[in-house]
Structure 1
Amino acid sequence: MLSADPPLPRWRYAGQMVTKALRSLWAEPRPANPPGRVWRDGALVAVLLAWSVVEAVLREDLTSRPLVLAAVFVVLAPLWWRRTHPLAAVAISFATLTAVDVARILAGDETGLLMSISGVLVLAYSLFRWGAGREAATGLGIILVWLVITHVADLTSPADTVAAYAFFLFAAALGAAIRYHAHTRTRDIDEAKAREREQLARDLHDMVAHHVSGIAIQAQAGRAVATSHPERAAEVLAVIEDSASRTLTELRTMVGVLRASEGADFAPRPGVADLGRLAGQAEGGPQVDVELSGELDDLSPAVGAALYRLTQESVTNARRHARYATRVAVRVVGDAERVQLTVDDDGAVSTTGGSPSGYGLVGMRERAKLLGGTFHAGPSAGGGWRVEAMLPRAGAPR
């Protein structure tokens, strides 16, 4: 008997988690489509440079104002490219600051640069907001090296040192937090779009397959009677024209919903009250009987639409795949908590109709599952094919 591996010590488990997090950060790509240079960046650079000029004029301890202003310009100018090239902006600005501080240490000069260089805090934010993981780690290392050197040059107190580190780490953390929030929002939008695409795919399949199947059956029947009963062929053509017109109307309605602006008056979705439109008999197809009973008032709109689409797809499948079928029985029964749909046909099950891998059955199963219900389709005990769906009255629980 094999013995189970002993549990890892806490410190080792924590180390593995930290290592995993660092690897994930290192592999993090840049955010997609970062905004380019905007007027706010130019305004920020202009304000900081104007502040530098005023401060240079007012300060009396500066030994070489032109050199100081030139260094400040090199430090602040990369703010203009902080979104599109965050690591390059950090490298240029903080490399310049580091070179200035090293020169001050070697020369024994305790005169610092202008206060306007505090604008480089924005670069720490931009590095974690717009940079890739490798860029953020590399840029943070450059910033930390400069912080060590500048505090050697200025000999600040421990409290000031801690405060300086805290300012830069807070700016970096703020950039990472906003980046995570934007990523989460983008992911939620993409998931909503995917769900909407699935819903549209199901609706298009259910609607088009139902009407086109009816048109195909009518066309087959019309071709069969065209030579012997021309007058009946004309009737069949009229039915085909009507079905095609309804299909075109529903397609235009759906396209109109997709193209409509916010606040448009959308067409109502079909529900239980519209099931009667599926009853009757198409030329050459089985008779469809619809029976409604129980409590079917005040159903959730989503449940009503699902019942209609499930019935529509079941009737379409029966007309298409149930060989020798003469009758399709649709029964909808509602009670205080749920609604049950049963669709039976008396045909011989074909191998194509019995396959659960078709898009029709997949879409039907997804509809029922999304609403917190159950779905089953298969051969019935008495012959033919049965579809059963059980849906909660109020839809999926929240």
Structure 2
Amino acid sequence: MLAVLRSLWDEPRPPDAPRRVWRDWVLAGVIVPVAVLEGVLRPDLPWRAVSVGIAVGLVPTVLWRRSRPLLMVVICFTVTGLPSVLTGEPLSEMYTMAYQLILPYALFRWGSGREAATGLVIMVVAASLTTAGGHGTGADTIGAFAVLSTTVTLGGALRYRARARARELDQAKLLERAQLARDLHDTVAHHVSAMAIRAQAGLATADSRPEAATDALRVIEAEAGRALAEMQAMVRVLRTDRPMDLTPGRRIADIEHLAGHTPSGPRVDVRISGDLDGLPPSVEAAIYRLAQESVTNARRHARHATRVEVRVTADDASVRLRVNDDGDGGLVRPAASPGYGLIGMIERAHLLRGICVAGPDPGRGWTVTAVLPRTGAAT
């Protein structure tokens, strides 16, 4: 139990907490006139001028709620709770003050474990002192604690849900890195095998043809350089201790197997053109994986689609893949919220020094475009 409490206490702040965005300024701009309007329409409001002043004066706490969550909670509960305890009367009963519930939510969503625990104690003490002063009935007290508990729980739940999603995205990237490392392993094994063969040939002909041994050394030198480059690339992308699958990787020619028509999906048309000779196995495997994932996504998510076009073209510098469908899947596959499959595609292209972009077409349909350099991760 102590270990659990200590881990909660040592919980760091979530990374990349957003600062002030335009929505925060809009919220602040709405709260101020609403508070003034409530003060005008409620002449029976106790301490009307002071209450409106407090409601307006605490608006800046909304702007700093993510960068300074604990400080904003302390300011809010001190300003609203302490005068009420000292005077014996509720200082503010404005409905507009409900916006302050954003602060406990932000504390548990963006604060550290220490800040959340400290802020919770401050909020409970302030609410208890207000209750002890006889402000409100028992039902009001229970309702206030229920609303505060709900807000705190919501902030904590969204915090850990965001962290779970971040872990899932990291896992998807790690699996893609492991897959790419396997493909690079195939490339390194190819170069090492070529060196071994040339060395055996040079030894066999060294006595009768000394010049053959020299040629073999040149080939071995070139292959060793390429193998070293691929090995360095594999070390860069390998980020997991899972054992690698050493089965042969896919090739661009295997994309042809994706073509055809299924009873419950659109027809897939594949066209491959350009100079594909001499491509590293890692690039060929990446193009196949990207095409396979794109076709799978189109069959699953492209509503009312009748066709999926897969185009692979290669030139002297790069290999380009384009997969598009004619469905209206853009309505359910927003580019701003990529799935794990798309995350893996982008990660694989990035590791090979390329790019991968996916999004809806202007009219209808969805297009995935990837461009990889011919030299792959060894670039």
Distance in 2, Cα, partners of 1:175 & 1:141 = 16
CA contact (8 A) 2:39 2:48 kept: yes
- 2:189 aligned to which of 200, 204, 209: 209
CA RMSD of aligned residues (A): 3.7
Aligned to 1:169: 149
Q: Deviations over 1:55-96 (max 9, x none)?
A: 111121356554333322233321111112111111111111
Aligned to 1:76: 59
Alignment of 1:66-145 (within 5 A): 66-105=49-88, 109-110=89-90, 112-145=92-125
Distance in 1, Cα, partners of 2:208 & 2:185 = 35
3-state SS, counterpart of residue 58 of structure 2: helix
Aligned to 2:283: 252
Aligned length: 247
3-state SS, counterpart of residue 34 of structure 1: coil
TM-score (norm 1): 0.53
- 1:199 aligned to which of 171, 179, 200: 179
Aligned to 1:151: 131
CA contact (8 A) 2:8 2:113 kept: yes
CA contact (8 A) 1:127 1:175 kept: yes
Shift of 1:220: 5.7
Structure 1: stretches of 5+ with no match in the other structure = 1-16, 268-398
Alignment of 1:338-349 (within 5 A): none
Distance in 2, Cα, partners of 1:251 & 1:184 = 31
- 2:43 aligned to which of 51, 60, 76: 60
Shift of 1:125: 1.1
Alpha-carbon spacing, 1:249–1:20, altered in 2? closer, same or farther (3 Å): closer
3-state SS, counterpart of residue 176 of structure 2: helix
Alpha-carbon spacing, 1:110–1:165, altered in 2? closer, same or farther (3 Å): closer
Aligned to 1:50: 33
Alpha-carbon spacing, 1:166–1:64, altered in 2? closer, same or farther (3 Å): closer
Structure 2: stretches of 5+ with no match in the other structure = 227-275, 296-309, 313-379
3-state SS, counterpart of residue 263 of structure 1: helix
Amino acid at match of 1:170: T
CA contact (8 A) 2:47 2:91 kept: no
Larger relative contact order (CA 8 Å, sep ≥ 6): 2
Distance in 2, Cα, partners of 1:124 & 1:257 = 49
Shift of 1:247: 6.4
CA contact (8 A) 2:51 2:92 kept: no
Alpha-carbon spacing, 1:81–1:266, altered in 2? closer, same or farther (3 Å): farther
Amino acid at match of 2:82: A
Q: Deviations over 1:11-35 (max 9, x none)?
A: xxxxxx3x44322221211111112
Specify the structure having the higher radius of gyration (Cα): 1
Task: Give the percent of matched residue pairs that are identical in Structure 1 and Structure 2.
Answer: 42
Find runs of 4+ consecutive structure 1 residues off by over 4 angstroms: 62-66, 230-248, 254-262, 264-267
Shift of 1:124: 1.2
TM-score (norm 2): 0.55
Q: Deviations over 1:231-251 (max 9, x none)?
A: 967997999899989764324
Distance in 2, Cα, partners of 1:261 & 1:153 = 68
